[in-house]
Amino acid sequence: DAKTTQPPSMDCAEGRAANLPCNHSTISGNEYVYWYRQIHSQGPQYIIHGLKNNETNEMASLIITEDRKSSTLILPHATLRDTAVYYCLKINAGGTSYGKLTFGQGTILTVHP
């Protein structure tokens, strides 16, 4: 069974970079890596996605290894408001076109003052 693994929890000091890892036991050529987060009592929030190249946007950077089985989400300067559950998703771009999202357990990131 294909499995996505994320650490259940991580801590980060405010102002430092938060590096959240994600591993996939298998990943095929048309499967993207997506990252979402969910701050307590709020709706999920899209962060970033990538296929094989590293990506950066105003929220974060995404580093994907050459075999694509590992990715790291980087929040360059974490703030207290970044405390949330972070979900790494593996999504088949050629799959369900309407876009059903399914979240696993995720990583609880706690940013400390």
Partner 1 sequence: NAGVTQTPKFRVLKTGQSMTLLCAQDMNHEYMYWYRQDPGMGLRLIHYSVGEGTTAKGEVPDGYNVSRLKKQNFLLGLESAAPSQTSVYFCASRTSQTGPYEQYFGPGTRLTVT
- Residue corresponding to tokens 């499995």: 3
- Least Cβ distance, residue 15 to partner 1 (angstroms): 28
- Give the count of residues interacting with partner 1 (CB under 8 A): 21
Query: By rule CB under 8 A, what string of x and - marks binding of each residue 46-85 to partner 1?
Result: x--x------------------------------------
- What's the one-letter identity of residue 84? A
Of the pair 32, 70, the CB lying nearest partner 1 is at: 32
Sequence-ordered list of residues with C-beta below 8 angstroms from that of 91, at least 6 positions apart, any chain: 31, 32, 33, 34, 49
Contact (Cβ atoms closer than 8 angstroms) between residue 27 and residue 76: no
- Least Cβ distance, residue 108 to partner 1 (angstroms): 14
Other CB atoms within 10 Å distance of the CB of residue 8: 9
What residues between 91 and 110 interact with partner 1 by CB under 8 A?
Answer: 91, 93, 96-104
What's the CA gap between 97 and 113, in Å, rounded? 42
- Least Cβ distance, residue 43 to partner 1 (angstroms): 3
Q: Which position among 26, 30, 45, 79 is part of the footprint of partner 1 (CB under 8 A)?
A: 45
Q: Which helix (H) or strand (E) holds 15?
A: none
Query: How long, in residues, is the chain?
Result: 113
Residues that bind partner 1 (CB under 8 A): 32, 34, 41-46, 49, 89, 91, 93, 96-104
